[in-house]
Structure 1
């Protein structure tokens, strides 16, 4: 560049600087790869939340579940029930993390006021960001300083008359030296299923619970007994159960209930003829299997008074190498329904508790109920077993009669299935009605 002879030294220096900047920009445009070589770049924190187990206070429908906000797809979304405050959505990062940034991509139903909170155990929460004048769109919350395994977005005021809806929640940060869990999978469970009716009757419930179960598309299905009413004859299995839950028979892992013993052809005759090796993979009506870091134990509570099954259970648990244990059978030790507590299950509970089991699933009483962690004597303890009664698969509902200690939630009259989300280190669940709505969302628990 040639300067006028009259240019001052200051102007000359200015032009020189400008020329140098123009030249540098030109080089970087022509050779963008040189930018990284010349300018040190700080590595961005990773997205920790994608694909991790998520739960919410409510969902508008089964297609708008909590997991949709963590699937990496901006076209999907979570939506809460409409017109209610507060509402929340949470994610289990799988390990303790230092969180530096959270982005929230709101749908039209946004929050004007909300908190972002973290927790080590999913029970006690600490705010790391607060918004009181939200206007939707995308909120990019940077410069955060929080540490925990769980993160929750807790909405306290809606911006519309609808609910809360997020296309995507992204949590950025670093894991504190622990690899997040792998092998996450979903299981659907229900008990007390096929009344003697078909989809031709609008009041017939088991085709509706089957349809909802199939929509979830789980890894496999569990049944907690009384699969076919009233006497579990093979003809009835073929006429009723097979027309609904039979659609995913090969992916089902059943156990028998008391109605399976009423078959005039002999106890379990129809049950065994229908399920065959599916229900007797180890030659008995009780068996075990593994999936991911979970050990599942399927038991026959009709014969808990027989030493053979009890000894088998002890030996099976002694051989287990998995970090999480779930067991399921028909008769619950604890229940607020018409049948109430059944002491026949207490010896099994003692064995499971001694083996540090995490979860027990039962049927028999035709309602949904979840209990806080407790020991076999019904005392709430941190290392206790969580019991869920899921007897609303299609049989006539029973009323709640006497609420038991440690019972946290009870639903009667609303048919549905349990949707269990399991990882290598923990689990959570929802009770999903035949309308696709989550009627209850359980806490997220870490395996013992």
Structure 2
């Protein structure tokens, strides 16, 4: 090898070595989950099944810590073993959340430094950026958000200074699965063989979806917080942290106030933008969750049009409770027509609804119910667990209808296409849609 080639090879080797050093340095700077499996303690616990260690076991949807009910203040803390730099804390609240609380650090579990505080907590998932050091980290609650206590599915403490090591927002390869259903939790439990929502929850778990969509009437009959805790939470509640819900008419029946129990249970999960309707992106898709209980109010329609105008995603899906088109007992609901019109003008692709307790899919159509290859595909998925309804008046463009069938929609979405299957409680596919290309 010539002297010139040796020199070039040496430079390249040096450059490669520098890249390795830079990569190793960057990897070392990544945030690390410090708290999982570490010793924990709390001011109290509701019972032996709700001990403090349940909030640090890595399970964000089923096991949980719960304090005694009706008492302030209450706290839970984790021992990291040695003093650590703390950069972020995530709180996965159960329905019993803290309205006012502090995140504190300490080296001796005696003297505490506040690194975060709020007096306007609303439950759901709190993802908090903090800055501090300490061996111990605790959540110190001073005012409950409900009449119960404080309860956390999980409390995660991270250290480091760079981007969190959460899963990426956009799925690799552009293909992902979403589970969807409406009309879910009747007032029954798995102890009853006729209770359907434990069985549909098992199908969701088997799918392992990226997230879960609900199309209203999540909890029957009046959607009180106590009912959410007693029924929905025991089955579909295991997916709460990755659920993107919409309310139905039964959510308005709560004597404590319209949608009061729904809001108390889901918190910021259902109100991420401070309203009962919201939008989000995943992969090549823009999703819009709407509140059809207030379709008669101009504010939501105005927001929807602005939201659709702002998105740059090719594929658009929207979901709410009351369907514009249905062959079931409730039939067509014209309250949804202005929303359909806005979606149609924005060239949206997919609408998901509930309300009628059956399964139905429609060919692409316009807001007037006319077949249109550039129209929207509607799927009615009201078979999440509530008693089935009859098919009464078959609508134009209705391609498939099933009743007396409980199940979950398994949506398979890519950056340019979509399709789905209805998965019954026995695990078999009861219907398979065509594959559609986004507008």
Please report how far the alpha carbon of residue 440 of structure 1 lies from its aligned counterpart in structure 2 after TM superposition.
0.2
1:342 matched residue in structure 2? 333
* Separation in structure 1 between the aligned mates of residue 319 and residue 393 of structure 2, nearest angstrom: 23
1:187 matched residue in structure 2? 178
2:321 matched residue in structure 1? 330
Unaligned runs of at least 5 residues, structure 2? 1-171
Question: Which of the numbers 202, 206, 214 marks the counterpart of 1:211?
Answer: 202
* Separation in structure 2 between the aligned mates of residue 382 and residue 318 of structure 1, nearest angstrom: 22
2:133 matched residue in structure 1? none
Question: Does 2:279 match 1:279?
Answer: no
1:382 matched residue in structure 2? 373
* Separation in structure 2 between the aligned mates of residue 403 and residue 327 of structure 1, nearest angstrom: 23
SS in structure 2 opposite 1:285? coil
Please list the CA deviations of residues 90-125 of structure 1 after superposition, one character each: whole Å capped at 9, or x if unmatched. Answer: xxxxxxxxxxxxxxxxxxxxxxxxxxxxxxxxxxxx
* Separation in structure 2 between the aligned mates of residue 369 and residue 417 of structure 1, nearest angstrom: 12
* Separation in structure 1 between the aligned mates of residue 334 and residue 396 of structure 2, nearest angstrom: 15
Question: Which of the numbers 374, 378, 382 marks the counterpart of 1:391?
Answer: 382
* Separation in structure 2 between the aligned mates of residue 359 and residue 380 of structure 1, nearest angstrom: 15
1:249 matched residue in structure 2? 240
Question: Which of the numbers 294, 306, 317 marks the counterpart of 1:315?
Answer: 306
**Counterparts of 1:21-420 in structure 2 under 5 Å?**
182-420=173-411
Please list the CA deviations of residues 261-314 of structure 1 after superposition, one character each: whole Å capped at 9, or x if unmatched. Answer: 000000010000000000000000000000001000000000001011010001
1:150 matched residue in structure 2? none
Task: Give the total of aligned pairs.
Answer: 268
RMSD of Structure 2 on Structure 1 (CA): 0.7
* Separation in structure 2 between the aligned mates of residue 281 and residue 321 of structure 1, nearest angstrom: 20
SS in structure 2 opposite 1:364? coil
1:427 matched residue in structure 2? 418
* Separation in structure 1 between the aligned mates of residue 429 and residue 174 of structure 2, nearest angstrom: 24
2:438 matched residue in structure 1? 447
SS in structure 1 opposite 2:174? coil
Please report how far the alpha carbon of residue 183 of structure 1 lies from its aligned counterpart in structure 2 after TM superposition.
1.3
* Separation in structure 2 between the aligned mates of residue 185 and residue 282 of structure 1, nearest angstrom: 25
* Separation in structure 2 between the aligned mates of residue 189 and residue 206 of structure 1, nearest angstrom: 13
Displaced runs of 4+ in structure 1, greater than 4 A? none
Please list the CA deviations of residues 356-388 of structure 1 after superposition, one character each: whole Å capped at 9, or x if unmatched. Answer: 000000000000000000000000011010000
* Separation in structure 1 between the aligned mates of residue 438 and residue 279 of structure 2, nearest angstrom: 18
TM-score, normalized by length of structure 1?
0.60
TM-score, normalized by length of structure 2?
0.61
* Separation in structure 2 between the aligned mates of residue 347 and residue 381 of structure 1, nearest angstrom: 18
* Separation in structure 1 between the aligned mates of residue 188 and residue 224 of structure 2, nearest angstrom: 14
Please report how far the alpha carbon of residue 182 of structure 1 lies from its aligned counterpart in structure 2 after TM superposition.
3.5
* Separation in structure 2 between the aligned mates of residue 332 and residue 304 of structure 1, nearest angstrom: 12
* Separation in structure 1 between the aligned mates of residue 219 and residue 436 of structure 2, nearest angstrom: 32
Question: Does 2:429 match 1:438?
Answer: yes
Please list the CA deviations of residues 386-412 of structure 1 after superposition, one character each: whole Å capped at 9, or x if unmatched. Answer: 000000000000010110000000000
SS in structure 1 opposite 2:386? coil
The structure that has the greater radius of gyration is: 1
Please list the CA deviations of residues 194-236 of structure 1 after superposition, one character each: whole Å capped at 9, or x if unmatched. Answer: 0000000000000000001110000000000000000000000
